[in-house]
Amino acid sequence: MSSPAELEVLVIGIGNLLRRDDAVGRIIAQRLRERAIPGLRVLEQDGETTELLEAWAGADTVFVIDAISSGARPGTIRRIDAVRLNLRRRIFRGSTHSFGLSEAVELARTLHRLPRRLIVYGIEGKFFGPGAEVSVEVTKAAAQLASLIIAELAPNRAISRNHRAPKEHAGTQKAGVP
């Protein structure tokens, strides 16, 4: 197994498999792990702050995926360049983590421990109560986001005919589910 410093790309899927749409980060992580993409390491976590900091220590490029609750339409995908933009804690309020992703990113920023490239993908959830069933909107968005990440990871940033990788920018980007 590679050490974090040797990794080309790390994907961390955050969520709770027993809180419905909150599971989306882990679901996408499982899909990406099944693809066995060379140079890609995939982790699943509950989003605890220190675990996240440890997981991306030494990594150059990190993608983190989590459910969000911003009031947008369920299934909406947001892409945030977390190196350039502070995460807004309020969009992660649907999460079951009390201290988690937003705090981890901002603590890492303060400690100068952010990866060189940290992209956070959030999928707007619909249901966060107890249960294992994920909403239709989030299930569709999960499939779309898994494809978008694979396209973004392509060696020469090649884009498939059916999916366009989001452009890198300082703000957030929304992509609705077709």
Tens of pLDDT along the chain (178 residues)?
444 444 479 999 999 999 999 999 999 999 999 998 888 999 999 888 888 899 999 899 999 999 998 889 999 999 999 999 877 665 654 344 456 788 888 889 999 999 999 999 999 999 999 999 999 999 999 999 999 999 888 754 333 333 344 443 334 445 443 3
d(CA 129, CA 21): 8
Return all residues near 82 (Cβ < 8 A) that are at least 6 apart.
64, 105, 114, 118, 119, 120
**Residue 71 burial by CB count (10 A; 0-12/13-18/19+): exposed, middle or buried?**
exposed
User: Angle at CA 63, nearest 5°, toward 117 and 171?
Assistant: 65
Please tell me the total count of domains within the chain.
1
| The two three-digit tokens of residue 7, written as one number | 């990794």
Range of the domain at 146: 4-175
Query: Which of 144, 56, 60 shows the shortest CA–CA distance to 105?
Result: 56
pLDDT at site 134: 96
CATH number assigned to the domain comprising residue 72: 3.40.50.1450
d(CA 26, CA 30): 6
